[in-house]
Amino acid sequence: MTGARVRWLALACLLALAACAAPRTPGTDASRVPAGAPPALTAGDPLAPDTGCSVDADCTVKNVGNCCGAYPACVNRDAAVDPQAVAADCAARGLASVCGFREIEACRCVSNRCEPAPMNALAR
């Protein structure tokens, strides 16, 4: 190899290494959501209601909504739910959902998560 080629190769390697070490710009921030991806969800977000619990009394049935319409689910009694926000999010992303849902008569706390109680749990 000639001296000029070696210098160009060395320069190319240095530029590649420098690009890897460059600080992130706002446009490449990992916290940004790619186009078409669902938005990031945060605590208290009606698109992802809190299902945490310590005892059965922490849980209740609320209409959390889905891309089809009403959707009852077991959530924390203080959880923020907004079926209209869920419907708007679905419409904005062009999503649809399977309609229908399981009837939930009661909820219970299982491993610190609100879940539907078995139907026969009320007949104890």
Angle at 16 between CA 14 and CA 21, to 5 degrees: 90
Say if 29 falls within a structural domain: no
The encoded tokens of residue 57 equal 């009394």
- How far from 95 is each of 20, 66, 83, 86, 110, CA to CA, in Å? 37, 10, 15, 11, 31
Q: Which of 75-84, 89-98, 113-122 has the highest mean pLDDT?
A: 75-84
| Structural domain total, the chain | 1
pLDDT over threshold 60, residue 72: yes
pTM metric for this prediction: 0.59
Say if 107 falls within a structural domain: yes
pLDDT band, residue 9 (cuts 50/70/90)? low
Say if 11 falls within a structural domain: no
pLDDT band, residue 46 (cuts 50/70/90)? confident
Say if 16 falls within a structural domain: no
pLDDT band, residue 102 (cuts 50/70/90)? confident
Where in the sequence is the domain holding 116, given as residue range(s)? 49-124
Contacts of residue 42, defined as CB under 8 A and 6 or more positions apart, other chains included, come to 48
pLDDT over threshold 70, residue 60: yes
- Region label for 42, one of left (φ > 0), alpha (ψ between -120 and 50) or beta (otherwise): beta
